[in-house]
Amino acid sequence: MITRLILLIAAASAIGCSSAPPPSPGITVIRDESQLEAAVGKPVRIEGVVANTKKPQLLGIAIEMEDVPVSGRFGVVRTIDPRGKRAWAEGILIRQLYHPELVVRGTDPRRLGAYYRLVDPLTGENPTAHLDE
């Protein structure tokens, strides 16, 4: 009886009753923008609610979402709209500085200052964010 109860609980948690999987060993979990500076250059997991901005952001960092196949004609693929939902992403945290002498007027919409970016250590690209379920 107890074995069946344990199996039932394990099955319920595997179906999606929990949130994101635990982070990989050695990864710092960041849930607030104030923690970003201390984690520059380290492997991190950022977690939070995706901002409702033109380009989705998690803790002020632009994120990419996975494409999902949509049934129908021509095998259409669409990107999940994550705005307002909890999500997480893992990668190496990089800080980019924008100085007056590096920015050509009218070519970059960013303001001068420091910006953070996540990088997949294997590809050098932005890692894909995942929705908490």
Question: Does the structure show a pLDDT above 70 at 72?
Answer: no
Cβ contacts of 90 within 8 Å, gap of 6 or more: 23, 24, 27, 43, 44, 45, 46, 118, 127
Q: What is the pLDDT of residues 1-21, one digit of tens each?
A: 444 333 333 333 343 444 677
Least reliable range by pLDDT among 36-50, 60-74, 80-94, 115-129: 60-74
Residue 65's pLDDT band (boundaries 50, 70, 90)?
Answer: confident
Q: Please, what is the average pLDDT of the chain?
A: 76
